[in-house]
Structure 1
Amino acid sequence: MRIDSVQPPAVPHFFLYGEAPRDADDRFLHLEALDDRSRPNRWTIRPHVHSGLHQLLLIAEGAGEMRAEEARFGFAAPCLLAVPAGTAHGFRFTDGTVGTVVTLSSRYLRDLCGREPELAALFADPAALALPEPGAVEE
């Protein structure tokens, strides 16, 4: 008796979410409001991959969950979500979450890290990083 293994569905590759893959310019940098793509998708961004693009999501209001490969990260504002290029990732945001998505090419990140080497650590692994509340005073 032969049992065929069930293959999980392929994770789609996008340029920006929902866009056909293409090569990014060396200095590609894109900023957009989080709700530009999440609101039309009912606050859910299905798992996908960006081959040569890294992303940072600055969450100013709201909360949710980020899936990156097999890991799950719960998050609440204010926070920063980091997604290295090539990482399968998706999001479920609470309705009305407010934030900004920064997308940059791998080449641009390498150039920036040449000037600011500490920046590379931000993209070493997927992460959800809590930020201080606006107006909070550090001691």
Structure 2
Amino acid sequence: MLKETIPNFALAPYGEETGWDIPEPMHYDELFNRSNLYGWNIAPHRHDSLYQIFMLTKGEVVTSIDGRETKCVAPILVFVPPMTVHGFKYKENSDGHVLTILDTAFDSFLSHSPDLQARFKGPFVISRDLTPGQSEEIDRVFEEMAQEFHNSKPGGLQALHALTSQILVKLARTKSFFLGSTIDKGGSEAAIASRFIEAVDEHYTEHQGNEFYASLLGISEAKLIRVSNSVIGMPPKKVITNRVILEAKRSLVYTSLTCAQIGHFLGFDDPAYFSRYFKRNTGKSPADYRKEVAV
């Protein structure tokens, strides 16, 4: 049964009622411990301010990322940025690693590599053809992180920072190898693209155009269009539209709000126009889409 809102666990991984009460800006845990605690089924939810990296080293899982399910066998890597609806159905006794990072600290781990930062703006799953050498290399860093996290040693926090940076760099490189990279124009354009995506996340319900975002970023409209096409792979208007449609789909799948209420939340005063907008971009009306995914 759909709830009125998507479960949103703002500070604690997997929805613990206690807040983020650790001094480190990152948290490590064994995947076995967390998954076993919740009966190997992590219901769809999202975090306002957390990035998460999952590495499955043993077993199987069905990942659900923004409503799209994928069945995977270890080894796999999953990256989930803030506000992404995600859930997991693990095969019993699966194991691996979970790294959670506060959004306020995330960019600091890649402060010298803005081109890499832009590769972490959307969720992704690397589930095929991960070679033993590649998976073992990342697994070793996670194992070292586990030791540092569970043992109080001098310089432990510094070591955790370094290991987190290592994992992010290796994950970015692995993503580029398997999924390709749209970042090929250098750090400055990557940084602009990153700031543009962040601005869209903040203003997408206002339905602003290219001129607004260009002004917000302090660049010309022509440059915004060029950077969006070359780095993100689509024009700015498509980026904005995709963000609106993504949130509409999330609400249709994971909430019991009416189509009119969802449209109003997304900045559409006219429910009929919202329905036409959604159908124009998806090929289905909001009501038909909800029925289809509910089957």
Structure 1 partner of 2:139: none
Paired amino acid for 1:132: T
Instruction: Provide the alpha-carbon RMSD of the alignment.
Output: 2.6
Match of 1:116 among 113, 123, 135: 113
Quote how far apart the aligned CAs of 1:8 are. 3.2
Measured at CA, do residues 24 and 86 of structure 1 come closer, stay the same or move farther in structure 2, by a change above 3 Å?
farther
Q: What TM-score does the superposition give when structure 2 sets the normalisation length?
A: 0.40
Structure 2 partner of 1:13: 8
Structure 2 partner of 1:66: 63
* Greater Cα radius of gyration, structure 1 or 2: 2
Is 1:91 the counterpart of 2:91? The answer is no
Higher RCO (C-alpha under 8 Å, 6+ residues apart) = 1
Paired amino acid for 2:68: A
Query: What's the secondary structure of 1:35's corresponding residue?
Result: helix
Paired amino acid for 1:75: C
Whole-angstrom CA distance in 1 between matches of 2:119 and 2:95: 22
Measured at CA, do residues 37 and 85 of structure 1 come closer, stay the same or move farther in structure 2, by a change above 3 Å?
same
- The range that moved more, 63-72 or 48-57, is 63-72
What are the Cα deviations for residues 30-80 of structure 1, in whole angstroms up to 9, with x where unaligned?
Answer: 000012221122210011111100000011111111111122222211111
Quote how far apart the aligned CAs of 1:18 are. 2.5
Q: Which runs of 5+ in 2 are unaligned?
A: 136-295
Query: What's the secondary structure of 1:115's corresponding residue?
Result: coil
Q: Is the 8 A contact 1:43 1:92 kept in 2?
A: yes
Whole-angstrom CA distance in 1 between matches of 2:33 and 2:119: 24
Whole-angstrom CA distance in 1 between matches of 2:108 and 2:134: 32
Q: What TM-score does the superposition give when structure 1 sets the normalisation length?
A: 0.79
Measured at CA, do residues 22 and 40 of structure 1 come closer, stay the same or move farther in structure 2, by a change above 3 Å?
closer
Query: What's the secondary structure of 2:107's corresponding residue?
Result: helix
Quote how far apart the aligned CAs of 1:119 are. 3.6
- The range that moved more, 88-97 or 63-72, is 63-72
Query: What's the secondary structure of 1:50's corresponding residue?
Result: coil
Structure 2 partner of 1:4: none
Whole-angstrom CA distance in 2 between matches of 1:40 and 1:84: 23
The correspondence of residues 21-36 of structure 1 with structure 2, limited to 5 A, is: 22=19, 28-36=25-33
Q: Which runs of 5+ in 1 are unaligned?
A: 1-6
Is 1:55 the counterpart of 2:52? The answer is yes
Measured at CA, do residues 128 and 47 of structure 1 come closer, stay the same or move farther in structure 2, by a change above 3 Å?
same
- The range that moved more, 77-86 or 8-17, is 8-17
Aligned length: 130
